[in-house]
Structure 1
């Protein structure tokens, strides 16, 4: 059941955002600003997003301070805001209601007649970016909320005057249950965030709740057993996509058009709808592109527009993003992959690209995930020719109950090396990677900083 409070925005005009400089906040700010709300905000450090917001006429204060809240009707804060924040304390003192970002996202989504909410353990950001690219190039002027920066719109999302909004919908902590999709897309369900969900059955149950919130149509990966189990007996129409002949939309004649970059035909029942050539590497992106093709054409784009948008799509930030070159001439790329399934897909694509060697620079993220999936990480990382790792980034966790270290993973990967910080990683790469090699940093933490340290200015 949807957990939206229908009265939360009633008679609210002035919205204050705590953590307004975050990439997840910016699209929400853009949309609500365009809708006529008075927006103010605060953050701890300046940055490009804050510069954009100030250029829009939004008053952004640095740093957080209690008086920044005065006059606001509603406070919106990011999940990263720590307990005891002076602005949240001030809001409580003044009786100003406060909600977390994902709650507000539910309201933003409902401002548009047709929402396309894209969920799944893997591929959300890429598929959301692809779908947005298609609809934008097709002249549909969609709104969008994306987990990565899409070059076409020069940001993480946008307000739009069309009827569609494309929303990346994250399952962690059940945040996607604040949404009421018109159309939902489920790409896959894999064993991630189990430190929160506890079991695969609980994870599938959460995706089922998300699907139950869908008003019109579910677009689902018909090849993914977990997804189809979660949707068994669902109340609304389910349209499937995949490689299997039993799917409603099928990718046929899948082949490499050039090393690591795939092309395929899209078929619906007995009709060929079009041919797609991708500009992002890896066979896994055929699934993402097929999902985006289906979602965008059912939202009004033509098959030709969908194919054109997909060919023009060259990725979002931190998704196999080529950043530059080392002093020795090695190509440096960065990718958000942090789960074994994602690492396998990314490294397999990297190995097909014709480089002499692939160096995987991996930052494990959270102790719970590292311990739970240790053997799986040890199986997929050696797809690379050389594995270089940092110590685990604990994020919201402490290591007291897990007692797991990168050394435990390195012990299972012959020839791998690890360092406690980025300086050691960068030194190793500078010493060993040459002009015909690819160095790819991997992880959802701050490993991208190491990639930028390697690049010659």
Structure 2
């Protein structure tokens, strides 16, 4: 097999028809869009109807509503996500018939090499927002980028797009070293925090994975000068680097930071100590200053102007499930956020507290037993920032409950918190106890957003 730089540039040679197992997933949809635009015949299967499947059918793609062995007949290659188990009947049929199978992240790596310029955004926090901001900057500048994003971006109406321009922007996930399948021209390093240690084991191993990702950059690394883990990596490799930051000297520095309304920031950006841009953020939160700095640091590298960055900063109001205001009912504002790590929960609640509401309610769904157990004290500390805390059962996801940690353990460390039996019960508790002028935000990367929707019904 002809491999180049550890990758196979002929991965889809001879392939005309691709079958996607779990085609309704947000991670699959941008790949489907891109490969459909490149002329590949695509089929797929899933178990739940949804807006993504509606959009795929509108492209003329046949989607089966069950996993059946016969669905793979006629396919030249079968694509599956990490959530699909080896006993899936379609995977087994493909194997029996000798049809090549490919995990989604490998295909994403191949797709990243179909465009002359790829921007891959990595970091424990802020990936979706920063990827969305960079995509917005290119889109508003008329560059028609391709994009693969972990959340919905209203500007493009989804989780990504095919794009006819020469650039692709990709959210580069560090879980299970997925981002090491990519080939970034520009590698953005936002931060490195103690997450996914169930996979990596130690912070040293996590940092080593980020270092390998950084070394894959073929053009430039864009790095957060204020993040200790990121700077450790940058100082240990020989690559072209551009830095951004607030506290320490950086190539792109935020200065004269001020709130133009509660929770919303504007600031000047200097480039090598010279005035470069003035950003007014359309999305709330101090943490978004860093995400916007990462975006503006890419502007010149992508042949864009400071004005393009300014327009994107003001236009971008947030991505789906990132401090997403869902609506108001009985005088109570309901929002949802993907925060599932103490650093993220702290940033989200800090933003919420600045918006001028009477009380802030946090409805938190702990995600995975290993993370909850390892970071129990940190979660308890940051959740206390809310005026009221409601805790749902832990969502185990890929993990089995060994009984060593329960929601009650977290509740015991958060004074005045309430533990409920499920999402419906969380919604009912809020309906009974929230008052006009209150702000309620659901927190977690599982399905806690369903509780927020129940509150609005």
Residues 360 and 388, structure 2, Cα contact 8 Å, conserved in 1? yes
**Which residue in the other structure is 2:394 paired with?**
392
**Which residue in the other structure is 1:203 paired with?**
206
**Which residue in the other structure is 1:352 paired with?**
354
CA RMSD of superposed structures (Å): 1.2
Match for residue 80 of structure 1 among 83, 91, 105 = 83
**Which residue in the other structure is 2:158 paired with?**
155
CA-to-partner distance for each residue in 1:13-72, whole Å, 9 max, x for gaps? 111111111111010010011111111111112211111111111121121211111111
Q: Tell me the TM-score normalized by structure 2.
A: 0.97
Verify: 1:165 aligned to 2:168, yes or no: yes
**Which residue in the other structure is 2:142 paired with?**
139
Residues 132 and 142, structure 1, Cα contact 8 Å, conserved in 2? yes
Residues 321 and 334, structure 1, Cα contact 8 Å, conserved in 2? yes
For the residues of structure 1 that align with 2:302 and 2:69, how far apart are their CA atoms? Answer: 44
CA-to-partner distance for each residue in 1:297-356, whole Å, 9 max, x for gaps? 321221011101110001110001111123x32100000001000000000000000000
Verify: 1:275 aligned to 2:278, yes or no: yes
Residues 332 and 439, structure 1, Cα contact 8 Å, conserved in 2? yes
For the residues of structure 1 that align with 2:134 and 2:226, how far apart are their CA atoms? Answer: 20
Match for residue 222 of structure 1 among 221, 225, 231 = 225
Number of corresponding residues = 454
**Which residue in the other structure is 1:292 paired with?**
295
**Which residue in the other structure is 2:92 paired with?**
89
For the residues of structure 2 that align with 1:296 and 1:52, how far apart are their CA atoms? Answer: 31
Please list every run of 5 or more consecutive structure 2 residues that lacks an aligned counterpart in the other structure: none
Residues 3 and 177, structure 1, Cα contact 8 Å, conserved in 2? no
**Which residue in the other structure is 1:7 paired with?**
10
Residues 225 and 248, structure 2, Cα contact 8 Å, conserved in 1? no
Query: Which one is further off, 231-240 or 279-288?
Result: 231-240
Tell me how far 1:423 sits from its aligned partner: 2.4
**Which residue in the other structure is 1:50 paired with?**
53
Local SS of the residue matching 1:91:
helix
CA-to-partner distance for each residue in 1:397-456, whole Å, 9 max, x for gaps? 1121x6100100111111011112122211221121111010000000000000000004
For the residues of structure 2 that align with 1:431 and 1:316, how far apart are their CA atoms? Answer: 30
Match for residue 339 of structure 1 among 341, 360, 369 = 341
Residues 3 and 178, structure 1, Cα contact 8 Å, conserved in 2? no
Local SS of the residue matching 2:129:
helix
Residues 4 and 103, structure 1, Cα contact 8 Å, conserved in 2? no
Residues 325 and 454, structure 1, Cα contact 8 Å, conserved in 2? no
Q: Tell me the TM-score normalized by structure 1.
A: 0.97
**Which residue in the other structure is 1:428 paired with?**
429
Verify: 1:32 aligned to 2:35, yes or no: yes
For the residues of structure 2 that align with 1:3 and 1:427, how far apart are their CA atoms? Answer: 53
Question: Compared with structure 1, are the counterparts of its residues 282 and 13 closer, same or farther at alpha carbon in structure 2 (3 Å cutoff)?
Answer: same
Match for residue 107 of structure 2 among 104, 109, 116 = 104
Runs of 4+ in 1 over 4 A off after TM superposition: none
**Which residue in the other structure is 2:364 paired with?**
362
CA-to-partner distance for each residue in 1:136-162, whole Å, 9 max, x for gaps? 000011000000000011010001111
For the residues of structure 2 that align with 1:235 and 1:68, how far apart are their CA atoms? Answer: 48
Please list every run of 5 or more consecutive structure 1 residues that lacks an aligned counterpart in the other structure: none
Match for residue 375 of structure 2 among 369, 373, 376 = 373
Query: Which one is further off, 297-306 or 165-174?
Result: 297-306
For the residues of structure 1 that align with 2:38 and 2:138, how far apart are their CA atoms? Answer: 21
**Which residue in the other structure is 2:410 paired with?**
409
Tell me how far 1:245 sits from its aligned partner: 4.3
Tell me how far 1:4 sits from its aligned partner: 2.8
Verify: 1:115 aligned to 2:86, yes or no: no
For the residues of structure 2 that align with 1:253 and 1:35, how far apart are their CA atoms? Answer: 46
CA-to-partner distance for each residue in 1:185-211, whole Å, 9 max, x for gaps? 010000000010001000000000111
Query: Which one is further off, 2-11 or 341-350?
Result: 2-11
For the residues of structure 2 that align with 1:2 and 1:365, how far apart are their CA atoms? Answer: 36
Local SS of the residue matching 1:227:
helix
For the residues of structure 2 that align with 1:161 and 1:377, how far apart are their CA atoms? Answer: 43
Residues 2 and 179, structure 1, Cα contact 8 Å, conserved in 2? no
Local SS of the residue matching 2:32:
helix
